[in-house]
Structure 1
Amino acid sequence: MAEFERSESACVESMRKKSESENKPTLNQDEDSESAEEQPLDIGEHYLVRRSDDSWHPAEIIQSRYNDLERQYEYYVHYEGYNRRLDEWVPRGRIMSSRFNMTESGQKGAVDMKVWKDRPVITDLLGDNSDRKITRNQKRRHDEINHIQKTYAEMDPTTAALEKEHEQITKVKYIDKIQIGRFEIDTWYFSPYPEEYGRQSKLWICEYCLKYMRLEKSYRYHMSECTQRQPVGKEIYRKGTLSVYEVDGKDHKVYCQNLCLLAKLFLDHKTLYFDVEPFLFYILCEVDKQGAHIVGYFSKVGLDF
């Protein structure tokens, strides 16, 4: 009898421990769930992304990176049908997974990417009830205003091939902003700055000598030491507060290279970066008591007689 009671007690204790074990969450399950949340999204996939104006738009993920300061992944996205100048890095919180896409009615559901791409964007401009016909010039103007990019099918074969090659080389823009003088400016395109500089989200640029830096403290120190207060070269024109300087690429190679790298941040198809010696550069400046502040430039091939 005593033997039976001991056996029954052992059985009850075993069942109690088993029940507690089944109800208790394991650390491995939590760790796996947390690890899954931290996994980056797949490059090349399409998702709905919230733009800066809080509208949702289909976008392709071009690249990903891990932000050590924010301790989260960021994604470089290209918005379908829009110019590449609007590509940007966005945090994970602005991207909806494909299983939770938003329809136009605001409900959760799937979005057909082909239908979205082929939607009649011109009717958005005039309103759904408009019977007015769109002229070719109006369509071109609409595309320019809204940065609608031409498809490869709309280009001739040679242009399409060159565009594809160019896009592969320059498709990811790492530098989001620059600080030049008292202005912080959003950039538009990729520029081939040296690796340790070209991967920064922000560059600091001296507006007088165009030296570029990764850190604000380096920039502050440089500005306290830099004695230059106008472009290199010679002043060839002045009217009021506007002044133009002529800079020879042969005489001031580094300055002109830095100028071209700066310009590439705002020009999609600029190919001149380092071979600056054959060119003359004309720098437009606004002059005040602090110095001559660069506001624009153009270049042309120099003529040797």
Structure 2
Amino acid sequence: MADEKEVEESSSVPSSDPFDLVVEGCRLPVNMSNSDEWPLAEILSKKDTDNGLTFYVHYIDYNKRLDEWVTPERLRLEGLQLPKKDAKTPVKDRGLGLTVNSCNSSRASSPAPPELVNGNSNSSATPLATVPPPQPAIAIKQKTNVGRKRKLPFSDLSTTGEENQDGSQSHEVQPRQTGSMVTEKSDDVLTRIKNINLIELGKHRIKPWYFSPYPVELTSKQVIYLCEFCLKYAKSFTCLSRHKTKCNLRHPPGNEIYRKSTISFFEIDGRKNKAYSQNLCLLAKLFLDHKTLYYDTDPFLFYVMTEYDSMGFHIVGYFSKEKESSEDYNVACILTLPPYQRKGYGKLLIELSYALSQFEGKTGSPEKPLSDLGLLSYRSYWSQTILETILKLQNPSDGERPQITIHEICEATSIRKEDVISTLQHLNLINYYKGQYILTLSKETLDTQQKAMSKRTIRIDPKCLHWTPKDWSKRGKW
């Protein structure tokens, strides 16, 4: 009887699984793939599959492209942090990239000296000849240049990070569009989870980095097949093959504005080629986290970079820009597809965007915030371009050091003044001595930049660019 009583008591105690405590919003150490590290991660989703329980995690302070599904053995329950009852989901890396995350370090550099930014320094400074430089130096002439006031966009909500401003007009505020196609709210946790396993584009199978709103019936497939010329999506290879028999495109629709060797650029109008533009945005959203997608592509131009072979013109990457930008942005979104990264194509896209700005007679800048990879690419391009301009200076005949103003650098490169100053500060090239700013170029800096420049084997040749700027403000319709 005693044994029966013990069995009865033990059977009445419910068996508890420790992983039942792991719910959405929890944080705990997780073993990262292909690593021995156990960084802190947040549980975004939990599901029971045929192979057992799995958890979708976001590694705190890491880019969202590293988010993944993990099994219970990769969780360390000892460090479990339960979500607070009234706590809201952290703003960082949220939704469709509507907020600024840790990779928005474009403002991380120290602010520029007010004298340099406003161009109000004393022009009667001590001559540079009296400066005892330990290394070659170039003077920056100070020039008063009061910039024109730029109107803020009517509505610029969270798509551009910290620079958001509300419209001053009384009618309903609409979110700023950034060349893409989705209207889901950033609060939807579903948009934080990668919904596609693989895409097949031409001869490449690519693993996506982020969520993209392809039709739900496709997201359950192991692979989504894309036509590499019109970018139309299909649920199977059979459907794609059937589509190819009907698709006559062998290059992106639009005008070819640049060709040199096997590299070509096509300009696509978001209004005239809406289907292609929307498909391009869906593809780009798989690898861009900071842009919100909208179905209206009319206000945008898309510049698609391709590689040519006997089969046709294969997409390598693209950038988009607004037809009319109140802030003179020359890039809204920019992307090099993963199979073509680390080959110099990213800088080629950036170089073309500034070449177009030069044709327009303007200085330009990309929309902020930049992604982590975008910031690295832009900072590298800015550094090399600015130093190339400085190194081309000729020594004056009177033996004094060559002089150049920030304004002259902007005119020569079409890089906006703020970006020039932040780049010079990042390189630690600006020094202040006796009322005069000088650029001090160390041998180490020169060697590093010249080595990087020598690796850029492909450059934009202005002679191969056939493009005429359009004044979109005078057009009643885009």
* Short-chain TM bin: 0.5 to 0.7
Unaligned runs of 5+ in 1: 1-14, 102-109, 114-146
Aligned pairs for 1:41-190 (under 5 A) are 41-55=22-36, 56-67=38-49, 71-96=51-76, 98=77, 101=78, 110=79, 168-169=187-188, 170-190=191-211
Conservation of the 8 A alpha-carbon contact between 2:26 and 2:81: no
* Match in the other structure for 2:215: 194
* Match in the other structure for 1:254: 275
Deviation for aligned residue 1:167: 5.1
Kindly provide the CA deviation profile for residues 158-180 of structure 1, in whole angstroms up to 9, marking residues without a partner as x: 857x8xx9753432222243221
Q: In 1, Cα distance between the equivalents of 2:51 and 2:237?
A: 22
SS in 2 for 1:168: coil
* Match in the other structure for 1:239: 260
CA 1:234 to 1:65, structure 2 compared with 1: closer, same or farther past 3 Å? farther
Deviation for aligned residue 1:184: 1.9
Q: In 2, Cα distance between the equivalents of 1:66 and 1:149?
A: 33
Deviation for aligned residue 1:270: 1.5
* Match in the other structure for 2:288: 267
Q: Which amino acid aligns with 2:213?
A: P
Conservation of the 8 A alpha-carbon contact between 2:27 and 2:81: no
Conservation of the 8 A alpha-carbon contact between 2:28 and 2:81: no
Q: Which amino acid aligns with 2:30?
A: V
Conservation of the 8 A alpha-carbon contact between 2:46 and 2:54: yes
Conservation of the 8 A alpha-carbon contact between 1:261 and 1:273: no
- Larger RCO of the pair (alpha carbons < 8 Å, separation 6+): 2
Q: In 2, Cα distance between the equivalents of 1:196 and 1:40?
A: 32
Q: In 2, Cα distance between the equivalents of 1:38 and 1:213?
A: 38
SS in 2 for 1:230: coil
* Match in the other structure for 2:176: none
* Match in the other structure for 1:119: none
Structure that is richer in strand per residue: 1
Query: Aligned Cα RMSD in Å?
Result: 3.9
Q: In 1, Cα distance between the equivalents of 2:236 and 2:22?
A: 30
Q: In 2, Cα distance between the equivalents of 1:36 and 1:149?
A: 38
CA 1:73 to 1:290, structure 2 compared with 1: closer, same or farther past 3 Å? farther
CA 1:174 to 1:40, structure 2 compared with 1: closer, same or farther past 3 Å? farther
Q: In 2, Cα distance between the equivalents of 1:274 and 1:89?
A: 30
Kindly provide the CA deviation profile for residues 27-51 of structure 1, in whole angstroms up to 9, marking residues without a partner as x: x99xx97x95996941111232221
Deviation for aligned residue 1:285: 0.5
SS in 1 for 2:249: coil
Deviation for aligned residue 1:247: 1.6
CA 1:182 to 1:268, structure 2 compared with 1: closer, same or farther past 3 Å? same
Q: In 2, Cα distance between the equivalents of 1:65 and 1:79?
A: 18
Q: Greater shift after overlay, 194-203 or 266-275?
A: 194-203
Deviation for aligned residue 1:289: 0.5
Give the fraction of aligned pairs with identical amino acids, expressed as a percent: 43
Deviation for aligned residue 1:244: 1.4
Deviation for aligned residue 1:280: 2.0
Q: In 2, Cα distance between the equivalents of 1:246 and 1:269?
A: 23
Kindly provide the CA deviation profile for residues 238-287 of structure 1, in whole angstroms up to 9, marking residues without a partner as x: 11111111222222111100101111111222234311122222211000
Q: Which amino acid aligns with 2:314?
A: H
Q: In 1, Cα distance between the equivalents of 2:284 and 2:232?
A: 14
Conservation of the 8 A alpha-carbon contact between 1:174 and 1:200: no
Q: Which amino acid aligns with 1:89?
A: W
SS in 2 for 1:229: coil
Structure label with greater radius of gyration: 1
Q: In 2, Cα distance between the equivalents of 1:58 and 1:205?
A: 36
CA 1:260 to 1:150, structure 2 compared with 1: closer, same or farther past 3 Å? closer
Conservation of the 8 A alpha-carbon contact between 2:26 and 2:80: no
SS in 1 for 2:294: coil
* Match in the other structure for 1:208: 229
* Match in the other structure for 2:402: none
Deviation for aligned residue 1:148: 5.2
Structure that is richer in helix per residue: 1
Q: In 2, Cα distance between the equivalents of 1:50 and 1:228?
A: 46
Task: Report how many residues are paired.
Answer: 231
Unaligned runs of 5+ in 2: 83-100, 109-157, 165-183, 324-471
Q: Which amino acid aligns with 2:40?
A: P
TM superposition score normalised by structure 2: 0.41
